[in-house]
Each structure stands twice: as C-alpha cells, then as structure tokens.
Amino acid sequence: MAFAAGGAADTVARNLAVRVTEILGQQVIIENRTGGNAVVAANFVLQAPRDGYTFLIDAANQITNPALVKDLPFDYEATWLPVTQLSIFPQVVAVKHDFEAKTIQEYIAIAKAKPGTVSYGTPPAAGMGHLAGEALQRQAGIQLIHVPYRGGADAARDIGAGSVDSVIITTSSIRPPVASGRARVLAVTSLKRAAIMPDVPTLAESGLPGFDMNDWNGLFAATGTPAPLIGRMQAAVAEACTDAKVKERLAPSGAELVANTPAEFATWIKGQRVLLGKLIKEADIKLQ
C-alpha cells in the first residue's frame, strides 16, 4: 500500500486483511511502500506477476497524480484496474476554540468580510483536504490562506495550539483537539452527515449544494490481472466490509466502508478525474 503504517488508510487495510484472510483461506499481507506521491508502491506492484496475488491500495493519487507529477513512469488510466473502493474518510471544517464563528455560515461570512486573512491547514499540499478547501473557496466565493502540513496529526496539533485559524482534516484526525476543547467542528465535507458526527451539518446542507469531497482509499489491480481473480478479491473484501467485528474495530476511526463493484468504482473514478483535474488546473494547485 502507498501509505505509512499507523494511519487511517493503513488501519482500514489491516482490519479488512484479517477478515479477508479468513474468507479466502490465504494469508493477506499488507506491505507499506511510501514515497514518490504513491508512485513507489505502484511500481512495486507492477513488478509482480499479474496473477491476482498482488494488489495496490491507493487513493486520490490515482486521480490527481497525472495533473501534479511530471514524467510519470506509467499512465494511470491504462495501467490500473479499479477493484473496489475500500472506505471513505469524511473531512471536517474545524476552527480553533476561540475563533469567532460558531457556524459554517458565520465562518464563510467572516472570510468574505476579511478576504485573505483566515488560514486553513490541510495534510498535505494537493491532498483531498487542500482540494476541498479550494472547492469551498470557489463555491462560497471566499479567499483563504492555505497552510500545508505533512500529516493530519500535525494539522490537528496546530489547530489545538491556535497556530492556525481552521483546518480541513478527517473526522479521525480532528478528534484529539475537539476532545480537549481546543477546536470546534463546523461542518463535514461529505454529501451525507458523517456517522461518527451525526449532529454536524454538511456543507451541502449549509448553502453549498452538492458539495462532496472526502478522503478515501481503494484497491487496484494492474492491467492484465485475470477478471475472475479481480472478482474473487472484490467479493472477499465486500464480505469483510459487512463483518460486525470489522465495523466495530473501525468505528472510532470514522472510516466508512464502501466495497462497491469494479464497474461502480471505475465510473466514480472517471467522474472524479474530470472534477479534480479541472479544479487542480483552475486553482493552479502544485505539490510543495
């Protein structure tokens, strides 16, 4: 997988792997291969035989890398077959504890009244939090100051310390400063309310209709992997996603399991490529 051990994506993968191992009767091993904006992990999988034993766990890099990374060693659309989306991680717009806005409408009003003065942190530059922030600015007609962080924990630390006015990070990352009373959540960026924060309104229901921009992760196979093997893995993951123990273990993380079909996942990715590609170009978003 393209992400470090211990993060939200890794936690989802390892919990699902335990159950998938039981379903398939074969040991599922998670290998963390970070670096190169997920290209290192992708290259590792491409070097393996296309026999249905090696898959890639990736995320928005599948969609955004073509617009962000120069001289890619492969074409994402031609090289990778979507197997299933594993989970989504709803993001939140949260503010430091003494920020004057108490609602997302008040936050937008303050940003409109004082353009270019309200800061928001995300992990990292060009990540889904950053993209959600750019989409928020365009749809709400506001101008914010972006502060990129290496990870969600770093952004959560600074919102707790009051070093940044606001953040757009996952429901999991925001928990510590909220629990200590050092931050307040104003809205979630998903189309539907997050199960872990049912009382927090969405941006879509707060005056920004259709707003839907989560962090997520999914399973991919290299082109040439036999379709029956892809179907077998998708079915095993889908069964694991319905397991009560898996859901219970993942509930505190805020991850919402998906396990859609390869066709459904492929259709969703196709739409995201158009949406995010346009956003990256118009906002002139770059890796930092």
Average pLDDT over the chain, rounded to an integer: 96
Q: According to the model, what pLDDT value does residue 226 have?
A: 97
Whole-angstrom distance, CA of residue 130 vs CA of residue 137: 11
Backbone angles phi, psi at 272, to 5 degrees: -70, -35
Which of 61, 74, 72 lies closest to 272 in space, CA to CA? 61
Q: According to the model, what pLDDT value does residue 8 have?
A: 85
Whole-angstrom distance, CA of residue 238 vs CA of residue 258: 8
Q: According to the model, what pLDDT value does residue 263 have?
A: 98
- Looking at the chain, the number of H-run helices and the number of E-run strands are 11, 9
Categorize the per-residue pLDDT at 284 as very low, low, confident or very high, splitting at 50, 70 and 90. Answer: very high
> Can you list the domains of the chain with their CATH numbers?
8-89+215-283 (3.40.190.150), 95-206 (3.40.190.10)
Residue 288, pLDDT above cutoff 80: no
Strand partners, 89: 215
Which of 206, 218, 223 lies closest to 258 in space, CA to CA? 218
Q: Is the pTM of this model over 0.75?
A: yes
The string of pLDDT tens digits covering residues 155-194 is 999 999 999 999 999 999 999 999 999 999 999 999 999 9
Whole-angstrom distance, CA of residue 54 vs CA of residue 110: 49
